[in-house]
Amino acid sequence: MDALDGNAIAGLLHEVFGTEMTTATGRCGNCGFIAPVAETVVYLDAPGTVMRCRRCISVLMVVVRRAEMNCVDLSGLAALDELTAV
């Protein structure tokens, strides 16, 4: 499957965070690149959903659904702030 972007998982992110997240700003834990979540690189079938940094392609977020539950790994993000829209 093609690499998409954060817009493609707006619904999933809203489900996980309880609010609109594509305008939130993420900072890559590896290279420090700051970008709106909408501009990250997203793979829907990785398996699971994988969000990567557009500059260094490090993994920022992984969401795996198991039995009606979303398991979310945010360890690749240094920061995620919905209040500082770019």
Judge whether 72 and 23 are in contact, CB under 8 Å.
no
- When asked if residue 14 is in the footprint of other proteins (CB under 8 A), the reply is yes
Name the minimum Å distance from CB 57 to other proteins. 14
User: Which residue type occupies 53?
Assistant: C
- When asked if residue 22 is in the footprint of other proteins (CB under 8 A), the reply is yes
- When asked if residue 1 is in the footprint of other proteins (CB under 8 A), the reply is yes
Q: Where are the beta strands (DSSP E) in the chain?
A: 4-5, 25-28, 34-36, 41-43, 49-52, 59-66, 69-73, 77-81
Measured from the CB atom, the residue of 37 and 53 that comes closer to other proteins is: 37
Binding site for other proteins (CB under 8 A): 1-8, 10-11, 14-15, 18-20, 22-23, 36-39, 44, 86
